[in-house]
Chains A and B, each alone.
Chain A
């Protein structure tokens, strides 16, 4: 039926896909194995004695719903914050002429190159002073603004023809309206794709939350997972795989739903 020619590129791409998908299949299959099986037949993709006991055990040991909710809350706050501040800042850079604009923009962008380890301690001290330790808000607060978003949104906004903004100005449309009714809808594809990336990054975040969240009730999923792969939590491998599987579900769904947008924003700006 399919008579498409297979060339070297296809084989290469297939290998890449395998490289990406195998670990995920491996993770899922092991999460359904018993501890004994997982040691004996770790590389088997189909479990010999499929079982749900890992998930049941996990459910007894930790508050799965609470963990997921914490993670979701944190990722949502960070994503919404980064998107809103990024869009507003980019619009300001796009629409207003002011002294030192270029300099301010460069300072903003250069923060991308400041390693997290440098700001970690000062941020921690501020959050501690604000009495936000063990609080999801404490994790999200320093991350509500991000220069990457500003840069990407500014680049996309620069592609919006000036005449479109001028047309709205002649009709005396207030700036707030121009922003929300015209600019934001045009930028929708890049907002969705950048937002998805922000969300997933935040969802998987580990180092910064471990500093702020000490109380187990405030843990996010990656923090809980750490307990199962450190010496402290023993080495129950299939249990860790089960938690990993749970952790990966939401990002995976987001990717699947928005993959059209994500690909779109990579291949074009959404205008035209």
Chain B
């Protein structure tokens, strides 16, 4: 049997629609068997990128290579790529079974094998009792499973998913997400998955490519995307509540916030100037008493109890706000709170290039 997955490589891909550049010179390589998530806000070009991999759009320039073969020149028998669409795109005139069977039938897969494959997929996806229903008689979650199933029966080397979970109920979404994860472990296909939901991306991706304005801002494992974002966009896009960004001043080894030293930096060789300090809300250490001379005195303006954690909206002396996450409801609105920052859990960004400076220690 041939290999069950393939590599994808995008070489200097550009795409223009009516003279608007959507994608500009994008390079991307996906390893065989990898689960890559394209993450970004709507209109960032992630769906267009996926459609170019699918061969549904032709790049204005550049090339899409599948297993080192140019997609445009490939003689595809319809077995290389499968895709799940956001609106599922089930054929409305065919039953669930016929939807799964149609492509196999057209490509003359022998009846016996066809039957086996479909039965298998129906079983895996828990769709056996719906196999004679029309798409209009299915719920959103069921339709989504049929759409995934239609991709699965093809046993393609590459599986593309375009926001497959965005149209189903929140309660079902997590279950569906786990299912997709399981299928990947089972089938080892190369998956490219487009979403605007960072939780989905973090949960599913071997690697995540964060896109904005047609450019890949960062591509890395989920942990690094969260902890070591390369620039302000990635830092702000990932994480809820959003990362705190504070304008600070570096003077020698003193990092000053509104004139007051908040961090005494170690091993930092950066110019003395102003920077953006990024601190994730869970890394703001809050306490009722002053921990050190560097602690910052703030007032609790608002509290949101999410059950699992509590979010504090803190206001500084000069009126700027910070968000913090604490594990228990130990504060009340109006309380004085001391916030302590740490260099290890904070990020320093250049205000003009918006790049993460890694405190001057480039990795």
Contacts and interface: CB of A to CB of B under 8 A. Distances in A.
A172 B78 contact: yes
Interface stretch (A123-131, A160-168, A224-232): A160-168
A5 B73 CA distance: 70
Given A161-B87, A171-B103, A171-B154, A166 B56 contact: yes
Interface in B126-167: 136, 150, 154
A115 interface: no
Interface in B68-90: 76-78, 81-83, 85-89
A174 B87 CA distance: 22
Contacts of A174: 106
Interface in A158-217: 161, 163-164, 166-174, 177, 181-182, 185-186, 188
Contact of B106 (A161, A173, A186, A271): A173
Task: Name the residue in A166, A177, A186 with the highest tally of chain B Cβ atoms < 10 Å from its Cβ.
Answer: A166
A3 B237 CA distance: 62
A4 interface: no
A170 B106 CA distance: 13
Interface string B87-112: 11101110000000011001100000
A169 B107 contact: no
A170 B55 contact: yes
Contacts of A172: 76-78, 103, 106-107
A166 B91 contact: no
A172 B56 CA distance: 11
B183 interface: no
A167 B93 contact: no
A49 interface: no
A170 B57 CA distance: 11
A166 B92 contact: no
A172 to B, nearest CB: 3
Contacts of B154: 171
A171 B92 contact: no
Contacts of B150: 167
A167 B78 contact: no
Contact of A164 (B56, B83, B89, B106): B89
Q: Which of B51, B76, B77, B91 has the most CB of A within 10 A?
A: B91
Looking at chain B, what size class is its interface with the partner chain? 20 to 34
Interface string B34-56: 00000000000000000100111
Nearest to B147: A167
B86 A163 contact: yes
A233 B51 CA distance: 70
Nearest to B92: A186
A10 interface: no
Contacts of A185: 93
B353 to A, nearest CB: 39
A161 B54 CA distance: 17
A77 B83 CA distance: 42
Interface in A220-271: 271
Given A163-B86, A181-B102, A170 B56 contact: yes
Contacts of A169: 55-56
B106 A171 contact: yes
A36 interface: no
Given A181-B102, A272-B136, A167 B92 contact: no
Interface in B319-344: none
Interface in B185-219: none
B108 to A, nearest CB: 12
Contacts of B77: 172
B109 to A, nearest CB: 12
Nearest to B82: A170
A166 B81 CA distance: 12
Contact of A167 (B55, B76, B83): B83
Contact of B83 (A170, A173, A177, A186): A170
Nearest to A167: B89
B272 to A, nearest CB: 55
Contacts of A181: 91, 102
A163 B85 contact: yes
A182 B98 CA distance: 12
B60 to A, nearest CB: 15
B91 A164 contact: yes
Interface string A132-170: 000000000000000000000000000001011011111
A186 B89 CA distance: 13
Q: A167, A173, A177, A271 — which one has the most chain B CB atoms within 10 A of its CB? A: A167
25 contacts: A161-B89, A163-B85, A163-B86, A163-B89, A166-B54, A166-B83, A167-B89, A167-B150, A169-B56, A170-B81, A170-B82, A170-B83, A171-B78, A171-B154, A172-B76, A172-B103, A173-B78, A173-B102, A173-B103, A173-B106, A174-B106, A186-B92, A186-B93, A188-B93, A272-B136
> Top 7 nearest A-B pairs by Cβ distance?
A172-B78, A171-B103, A185-B93, A163-B89, A167-B89, A163-B85, A164-B89
